[in-house]
């Protein structure tokens, strides 16, 4: 080290110029190499003829290869037509589909795009953040989505979530559910760190369940949009999904404190408060979907799987290279 500082000014200038050329050249070359061949596939919409109409039980999911929504042939896993819109998260129910699409660039921004049964755009909402969860109520009238936002300062490396609810009947948009007065442990809860995610709607299109995180804990909350209130029910329930009969909730439960494989898929009986794991024993990170009152569908390890909700049986692979499953089981288009 001393040898370098003792070098004459001229030598030092030459070393600096040379280093600038080498390092600058290296940086430029690396950037150019990675940049070439990367084309953003966002903004693609559905091709005509690709509609939400595959008959009862037809599975729609995001195709990992193209980033577009595909209809998966249940008879032949792998057989699919990926001609839907390009979405990072997708869910459809009733006559409505919700497509969350990330816009390229920084700061992270996304679109929440509401589509009708023919996958034509009905409404488009620009939002800050990165798509996390998308859910349409069974009737297709109410939608909810969650975005990750990069905290409140670019230099602060923490994430927060921002969950919105859109009522298509009135067009009313709750941009951030955190505005709802929250009751926790019987008391009104104020805290700077309240975050909501993973909404699931009840059949009345008004009540909903979601996860609230505050003070380092997660809670299952029951919300009521009309009454404008929310109350915490129990701890350690994330990404709830209400069964079609409204009696049970499938959720991801945190079973390990470390960052490796922290969650498993569980089912909670709302009446008894009893919970049990399902036969999926591997790490889990998704908002599950009820195919019918007995079966759960979810994304895992880059594929879409199903498993019985009562803890019996074993996971079954429905589609490879896919995520964000939806089941088009709604009534036929009028």
Partner 1 sequence: MYLATTGRPDAPPAPRGARRRVPGTVLALGTVSLVTDVSSEMVTAVLPLYLVLGLGLSPLQFGLLDGLSTGATALVRLLGGATADRGGRHKTVGGLGYALSALSRLGLLLAGGATGGIAGAIAADRLGKGVRTAPRDALITLHSPPGDLGRAFGVHRAMDTTGALLGPLAAFALLWATADAYDAVFAVSFCAGTFGVLLWLLLVPGRTRHAAPAPRPVPRARTGPLAALRSPGHRRIVLCAGLLGAATIGDSFLYLLLQRRLELDPTWFPFLPLGAAAVFLLLAVPAGRLADRLGRRGPLLCGHGALFLAYALLLVPLPDAVVLPGVLVLLGGFYAATDGVLMALTGPFLTEGRQASGLALVQTAQALARVGAAVAFGALWTASGPETALACALVALAVAVCCCARLLPRDPAPEPRDRRERTDRPCPP
Residues that bind partner 1 (CB under 8 A): 1-2, 4-7, 12, 15-16, 19-20, 23-24, 26-27, 30-31, 34-35, 38-40, 102, 104-109, 128, 130, 148-162, 189-193, 214-215, 258-260, 262, 285
What is the CB-side half-sphere exposure of residue 150 using CA atoms within 13 A? 11
Find the shortest distance in angstroms from Cβ 156 to partner 1: 5
What are phi and psi for residue 326, nearest 5 degrees?
-140, 155
**Min dist. Cβ of residue 75 to partner 1 (A):** 30
Dig out the tokens for 7 from the structure. 């070098």
Q: Which is nearer to partner 1, 157 or 170 (CB)?
A: 157
Q: Which is nearer to partner 1, 99 or 327 (CB)?
A: 99
Q: How far is the CB of 270 from partner 1 (least distance, A)?
A: 25
Give the residue with the Cβ less far from partner 1, 243 or 323. 323
Q: Which is nearer to partner 1, 7 or 122 (CB)?
A: 7
As measured in angstroms, the least distance from the Cβ of 150 to partner 1 is 5
Q: Which residue, 107 or 293, is less far from partner 1 as judged by CB? A: 107
CA distances from residue 208 to 53, 205, 222, 295, 309 in whole angstroms, order as listed: 27, 8, 6, 21, 20
Which of 25/57 has CB closer to partner 1? 25
- Minimum CB distance to partner 1, residue 257 (Å): 8
**Which 3 state secondary structure label does DSSP give 164?**
strand
Smallest gap from Cβ 299 to partner 1, in A, equals 11
Distance CA 189, CA 114 (A): 33
- Those residues whose C-beta lies under 8 Å from the C-beta of residue 303, and which sit 6 or more positions away, are 317, 318, 319, 320, 321, 322
In terms of C-beta density within 10 A (0-12 exposed, 13-18 middle, 19 or more buried), how is residue 296 classed?
Answer: buried
Which residues, other chains included, contact 233 with Cβ-Cβ below 8 Å and sequence gap of 6+?
219, 220, 221, 222
Query: Whole-number minimum distance, CB 297 to partner 1, in Å?
Result: 19
The least distance separating partner 1 from the CB of residue 28, rounded to whole angstroms, comes to: 9
Give the residue with the Cβ less far from partner 1, 221 or 328. Answer: 221
Positive or negative: CA dihedral 180, 186, 192, 194: negative
**Rounded to 5 degrees, what are φ and ψ at 25?**
-60, -45
Nearer to partner 1, 4 or 76 (CB): 4
- The three-point CA angle 192-196-201 to 5° equals 150
Closer of 71 and 189 to partner 1 (Cβ): 189
Spatial strand order in the sheet of 58-63: 80-81, 69-72, 58-63, 322-328
Q: List Cβ neighbours of 312 (8 Å cut-off, separation of 6 or more).
A: 279
Provide the minimum distance between the beta carbon of 166 and partner 1 in the complex, in angstroms, as a whole number.
Answer: 17
């Amino acid at each position: 080290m001393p040898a370098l500082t003792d070098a004459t000014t001229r030598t030092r200038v030459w070393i600096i110029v040379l280093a600038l050329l080498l390092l600058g050249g290296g940086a430029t070359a690396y950037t150019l190499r990675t940049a070439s061949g990367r084309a953003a596939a966002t903004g693609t919409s559905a091709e005509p003829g690709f509609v939400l109409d595959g008959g009862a039980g037809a599975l729609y999911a995001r195709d990992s290869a193209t980033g577009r929504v595909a209809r998966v042939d249940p008879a032949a896993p792998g057989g699919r037509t990926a001609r839907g819109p390009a979405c990072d998260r997708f869910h459809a129910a009733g006559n409505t589909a919700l497509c969350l699409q990330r816009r390229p660039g920084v700061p992270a921004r996304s679109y929440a795009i509401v589509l009708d049964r023919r996958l034509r755009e009905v409404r488009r909402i620009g939002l800050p953040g990165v798509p996390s969860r998308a859910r349409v109520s069974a009737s297709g009238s109410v939608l909810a989505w969650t975005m990750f936002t990069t905290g409140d300062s670019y230099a602060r490396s923490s994430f927060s979530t921002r969950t919105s609810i859109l009522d298509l009947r009135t067009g009313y948009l709750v941009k951030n559910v955190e505005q709802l007065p929250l009751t926790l442990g019987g008391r009104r809860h104020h805290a700077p760190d309240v975050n909501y995610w993973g909404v699931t709607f009840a059949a009345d299109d008004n009540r909903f369940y979601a996860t609230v995180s505050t003070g380092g804990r997660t809670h299952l909350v029951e919300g009521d949009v009309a009454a404008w209130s929310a109350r915490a029910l129990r701890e350690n329930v994330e990404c709830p999904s209400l069964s079609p009969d409204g009696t049970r909730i499938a959720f991801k439960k945190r079973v390990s404190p470390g960052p490796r494989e922290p969650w498993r898929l569980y089912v909670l009986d709302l009446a008894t408060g009893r919970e049990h794991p399902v036969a999926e024993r591997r790490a889990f990170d998704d908002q599950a979907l009820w195919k019918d009152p007995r079966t759960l569908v979810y994304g895992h390890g880059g594929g879409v799987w199903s498993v019985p909700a009562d803890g019996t049986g074993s996971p079954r692979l429905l589609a490879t290279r896919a995520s964000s499953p939806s089941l088009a089981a709604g009534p036929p288009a009028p």
